[in-house]
Amino acid sequence: MPRVRAPAAPVSAGAWLQLMQLASPALPVGGFSYSEGLESAVDSGLVSGEVQARQWLLDQLALALGRADLPACAAAMRAWQREDLSRVQALNDWVLQTRETRELRLQSEQMGRSLLEWLRNRGDAARPDTARRLQALAALRPAPSWPVAFGLAAALTGAPLREAMLAHAFGWAENLVAAAIKAVPLGQSAGQRILEALGQAIPTVVDAALAQTESQRQAFSPGLAILSARHEAQYSRLFRS
């Protein structure tokens, strides 16, 4: 007899709303202040309009986020659920050691620290199990990275893994589309068309990320790394370096 997979448990309204909050650009972690190399791509003439910006972000979603941050974040969420702190530290080390520029590493560290502070100010922060995990997140050295911190935040919502990773990817998409609107520049309607294209691509990228084995996770985007390094010394820029 073929094995029948049990249907996924429904996501509670409370968990959905918490995921929406984590994905929101209004989350006070500073994600809106980074362009992740996009501003340098605009300055270099590689991105000059809606079509190029859309393709740039679709490629970055698949080749960078989908192969590195999403698998690492998913693994971190599982580790936090088990309270496997050695696994959490190993994942945090991997994330920070594989950032290909100083700019990208500092971004991950800053956003991770900011999310930690936000979690500490939540109403459930005093619960013994939550407080224990927050203490472990704060103890990560040299800093909690963004994917690992998000993994804890997602675990605390009680949402299923796939839905949490969809939220993680969509939050990234909203911030980068906002960066494209400012840097290219683009109109709001163009930005919404790009966001729609990213939204259509995200489920497939998330499913591929969740299917990856440990040995398949990788951070290798040399073109993006070169542009990020250039951005650190770019003469004029809107976004944080």
Domain boundaries, the chain: 50-232
How many CA atoms lie within 13 Å of 58's alpha carbon, on the beta-carbon side? 16
The b-or-e profile of 157-195 (16+ CB within 10 A means b, else e) is bebbbbbbbbbbbbbbbbbbbbbbbbbbebeeebbebbb
Angstrom distances, CA of residue 85 to CA of 79, 92, 217: 7, 10, 20
From first to last of its 241 residues, the chain has per-residue pLDDT tens of 445 444 566 789 999 999 999 999 999 999 999 999 999 999 999 999 999 999 999 999 999 999 999 999 999 999 999 999 999 999 999 999 999 999 999 999 999 999 999 999 998 888 999 999 999 999 999 999 999 999 999 999 999 999 999 999 999 999 999 999 999 999 999 999 999 999 999 999 999 999 999 999 999 999 999 999 998 888 777 887 5
**Element containing residue 214 per DSSP (H, E):** none
Distance of CA 199 to the CA centre of its chain: 14
Q: What is the pLDDT of residue 228?
A: 92
Work out the number of other CB atoms within 10 angstroms of the CB of residue 142: 10
Q: Are 179 and 240 in contact (CB under 8 A)?
A: no
| pLDDT score recorded for residue 7 | 54
Q: Is the CB of residue 20 less than 8 Å from the CB of residue 167?
A: yes
- How high is the pLDDT of residue 4? 46
Element (H, E) at 18: helix 13-23
What's the pLDDT at 1?
Answer: 46
pTM over 0.85: yes
Q: Residue 232 contacts by C-beta under 8 Å, 6 or more apart in sequence?
A: 101, 102, 103, 241
| 3-state DSSP of 31-90 | HHHCCCCHHHHHHCCCCCCHHHHHHHHHHHHHHHHHHHHHHHHHHHHHHHHHCCHHHHHH
Contact call for residues 219 and 98 (beta carbons, < 8 A): yes
CB 165 within 8 A of CB 210: yes
CATH code of the domain occupying 50-232: 1.10.4190.10
> Quick one: residue 37, left, alpha or beta (phi over 0 = left, psi -120 to 50 = alpha)?
left
